[in-house]
């Protein structure tokens, strides 16, 4: 979002609640509460250090960003802290890499508090009421969307990390109950209904 002038965007204010993590354990957003509801804010991992240094639970925060269609999400271009510090997405360094971390088998169960989305509005997982972040690939998430919806009860297993900002699990198995887990798989590419020979004849 670094190509967008943040001053051209509307501002949304709220109270900071918690950070949201990606599968690498990096902060890639947060949840804030306004007068009406909780708001999921996406912020790219390359601004993680500034966000974690200047945001604390209960702080007032203001966000300028864009809202993708069909998703309850605010993709931040700038974040202004209660101390007046403006954190702007100016794009990542070209040599930036994900941190090297060690994942361990983890499981979780509970109620979905929020669905999690990528910056373009693609479904990418869920935040449970205990603060656990569940991450699922966007293609796989389409097939388990009902389980990732707010209010749904679910159980999941996968590879996870425990960080100072919370727990995140890259989901490998998911279901409505621990006894009903199914492996998350990428959907197969659909084959064309007609072969090349049939298409050639039709032409």
Tens digit of each residue's pLDDT (9 = 90 or more) over 64-84? 999 999 899 999 999 999 999
Percent of the chain with pLDDT over 70: 90
Task: Please give the backbone phi and psi of residue 117, each rounded to the nearest 5 degrees, phi first.
Answer: -130, 155
Burial 39-62 (b: 16+ CB within 10 A, else e): bbbbbbbbbbebbeebbeeeeebb
- Contact between residue 130 and residue 114 where contact means Cβ atoms under 8 Å apart: no
What pLDDT sits at residue 1?
58
What pLDDT sits at residue 143?
93
**Which of 60, 62, 15, 24 is CA-nearest to residue 44?**
24
Using the predicted structure, report yes or no on whether residue 90 has a pLDDT greater than 50: yes
What pLDDT sits at residue 58?
97
What pLDDT sits at residue 93?
73
The beta-carbon contacts of 178-181 under 8 Å, at least 24 apart in sequence, are 178/107, 178/109, 180/155, 181/155, 181/156, 181/157
* More reliable by pLDDT, 96 or 145: 145
Q: How confident is the model at residue 31 (pLDDT cuts 50, 70, 90)?
A: very high
* Domain 6-88, CATH among 3.40.50.300, 3.40.50.620, 2.40.50.1010, 3.40.980.10: 2.40.50.1010
What pLDDT sits at residue 127?
98
Using the predicted structure, report yes or no on whether residue 52 has a pLDDT greater than 50: yes
* More reliable by pLDDT, 28 or 101: 28
> In residues, how long is the chain?
203
User: Which CATH number is 104-183 given?
Assistant: 2.40.50.140
Distances, alpha carbon 73 to alpha carbons 27, 86, 89, 117, 121, in Å: 16, 20, 17, 7, 7
What pLDDT sits at residue 63?
98
Query: Where exactly does CATH 2.40.50.1010 map onto the chain?
Result: 6-88
**pTM, whole model, 2 decimals?**
0.86
Task: Please give the backbone phi and psi of residue 46, each rounded to the nearest 5 degrees, phi first.
Answer: -75, -5
Residues 6+ apart with CB under 8 A from 192: none
Query: Where exactly does CATH 2.40.50.140 map onto the chain?
Result: 104-183
Using the predicted structure, report yes or no on whether residue 7 has a pLDDT greater than 80: yes
């Amino acid at each position: 979002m670094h190509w967008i002038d943040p001053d051209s965007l509307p501002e949304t204010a709220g109270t900071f609640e918690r950070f949201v993590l990606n599968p690498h354990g990096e902060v890639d957003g947060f949840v804030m509460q306004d007068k009406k509801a909780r708001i999921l804010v996406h912020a790219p991992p390359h601004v993680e250090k500034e966000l974690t240094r200047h945001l604390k639970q209960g702080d007032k925060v203001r966000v300028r960003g864009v809202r993708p269609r069909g998703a309850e999400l605010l993709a931040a271009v700038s974040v202004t802290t209660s101390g007046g510090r403006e954190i702007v997405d100016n794009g990542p360094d070209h040599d930036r890499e994900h941190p090297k971390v060690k994942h361990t088998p983890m499981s979780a169960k509970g109620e979905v508090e929020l669905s999690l989305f990528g910056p373009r509005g693609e479904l990418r997982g869920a935040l449970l009421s205990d603060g656990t972040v569940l991450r699922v690939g966007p293609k796989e998430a389409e097939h388990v969307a009902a389980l990732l919806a707010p209010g749904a009860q679910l159980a999941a297993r996968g590879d996870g990390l425990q960080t100072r900002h919370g727990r995140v699990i890259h989901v490998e198995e998911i279901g409505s109950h621990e006894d009903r887990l199914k492996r998350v798989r990428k959907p197969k590419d659909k084959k064309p209904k007609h072969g090349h020979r049939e298409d050639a004849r039709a032409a």
